[in-house]
A and B are shown apart, each in its own frame.
Chain A
Amino acid sequence: MRGVGAGIPEGRSLTAAAGGHDLEALFRSAGPELWRALYGFTGGRRQVAEDALAEAFARAIEHRDSIREPLPWIYRTAFRLASRELQREKRPMPVAPDPAPGVDPLDVQEILVALRRLSPRQRAAVLLYDEEGFTGPEVGRLMGMSAATVRVHLFRGRRRLRALLSTEETLDE
């Protein structure tokens, strides 16, 4: 696992200007991480995650001249789109996650079901900080929160995840 708070990996910049910026290159470098975060954020709803990612980049291209920091803008937009789509759905979410390239749905079902039970901000904080390796201030910039707010939701999200996975483990035994 990457070190927590390891910072922005090479090639990932939160401040690159969008005007005249190569958003396709940004898609290639940052898209995989955003996709993973969205797949987790949606609890394994592949279509919702794909739509949110593609839509966010499409809108970034459309508004490229007015976006100063494309990556935070794209992250915020993608997470808001995904969140909106999940709220719209009236039907109960299926237990099994959708298959996605590279992962066995059964292998990730437990963590995805647990993630669904967190609030949206808790999910985002845990996935971006613990899994994607962003620092607290970076997560704050990506999601439009203060660093202190990120810490609060990270703490609550971790606590909830630990409790959920611990309970399920006990029940399994």
Chain B
Amino acid sequence: MSDRYRTELTKLRRAELPDGLWGRVREGPRQAPLGPEPRSRVTAAVVAFAVFGLAAILAWQAFRPSHPAQPAGSDTVAVPPRGETSAVFLSDGRPVFVVHHEDGTVSVVDGFSSHRAWGVEELNVWCPSSREFVEAAHEARFDEFGGFASPPAPGGLATFAFQVAETDAAGDPSSVVVGAMRDGVPGGGDSGPDRPPFCPPGGIVGDTQLIEVTGGYSGDTGMVVGHRVDPDRVFATPAEVVAAAPTGWALVQATMRVDRDGFVQLCARVVDERCEGGVVVRGVDGIGLYLNVTRFDFVSGYEEPQVWLVRVVDGVIDDPAGFGGMLEPSPDLPSGPTA
């Protein structure tokens, strides 16, 4: 019965064009125009100032490391069996992967891609069959140590220092204490030959529950290891997460809105192309995103309601990363954490 939806869809084919609609067409447009209203000179001046300010911020961002080094932490995380990889969140909410290589060594690799499309963080998944990390949105690839494998990415993934905390009976590490983050090795590329299939079936997965993810570039679907979102940890709106001002990374249900002047917000919802309950997003090249993506798309992947992994700094949102490709947003998300 898997294609029952097709049978049901065909019933719509009987719908006939109502009479008299052409007469209505000839009466001319009745509704308000789509898109922003014409701007006054004052508004235009304010927008120009905002654009200038944003350009200055972006110029500053260009000289700032995308993933600033963090001090050594004290997260103790379990190491999966040899050959397997697990997806965990550190205590500050940062997603990382713990790789237990087949030779018994361990790597702790960042969950964020080194490729940031117009400043938007992108999440990686682990493909067990190819033993690679794949950036879900654009399908850049990295080897199991986080090294660059294929574009688009400027270099390898950030990794973390660690110390072995416990070993198992065979002498393999069973848990590690995660320390400071180290930037990935530079050297990558923006484009290249056709990308391989997103993630073919197979590989070592052990007890890990795989998730179904669709690659944003190929549209192929694969079963991968990825970070799962606990609905109980999702703030219901951007305003709530900003009010809570959590330390580190937090999850929030939101919709991104990119205005034509490059102003970027995460919104509780977008109604009539207006952001309701919005919070300013910092660190995203809104002009680039608008010119290259959102102005073309009906509703781009960035603008789809989804769960975002964000940091709250000085009352604004930094470094948003969407879970759109990994988590089907639920309309019944709870009201969010109380802490």
Residues of A within 8 A of B (CB): 1, 24, 27, 31-32, 35-36, 39-40, 46, 50-51, 53-55, 57-59, 61-62, 76-77, 79-81, 83-84, 87-88, 100-103, 107-108, 110-112, 114, 117, 119-121, 124, 126-127, 130-131, 143-145, 148-152, 155-156, 158, 160-162, 165-166, 169
B25 touches A166 (CB 8 A): no
The binding surface of chain A is classed by DSSP as: helix
Contacting pair B8 A111 (CB below 8 A)? yes
- Selected from B1, B9, B217, B271, the residue in CB contact (under 8 A) with A88 is B271
Partner of B298, one of A87, A121, A155, A165: A121
Residues of B with C-beta under 8 A to A59 = 29
Once A81-B31, A149-B297 are accepted as A-B contacts, the answer to whether A101 and B18 lie under 8 Å apart by CB is yes
Count: A-B pairs, CB below 8 Å:
160
What residues make up the interface of B, taking CB atoms closer than 8 Å to A?
1-6, 8-19, 21-22, 24-31, 34, 214-219, 221, 269-273, 296-301, 304-305, 328, 331
Measured between C-beta atoms, what is the minimum distance from B104 to chain A in Å?
Answer: 38
Task: Tell me whether A144 and B296 are in contact (CB under 8 A).
Answer: yes
The contact sample of 25 A-B pairs, CB cut-off 8 A, is: A32-B17, A36-B12, A50-B24, A51-B30, A55-B29, A58-B24, A58-B28, A61-B26, A62-B29, A84-B273, A100-B15, A103-B12, A107-B11, A111-B5, A121-B298, A130-B9, A149-B219, A149-B300, A151-B219, A152-B219, A156-B328, A158-B5, A162-B5, A165-B5, A169-B1
Q: Which residue of B lies closest to A27 (CB)?
A: B22
Instruction: Give the residue among A59, A110, A120 with the most B Cβ atoms within 10 A.
Output: A59
Q: A31-B21, A144-B296 are in contact. Are A131 and B5 (CB under 8 A)?
A: no
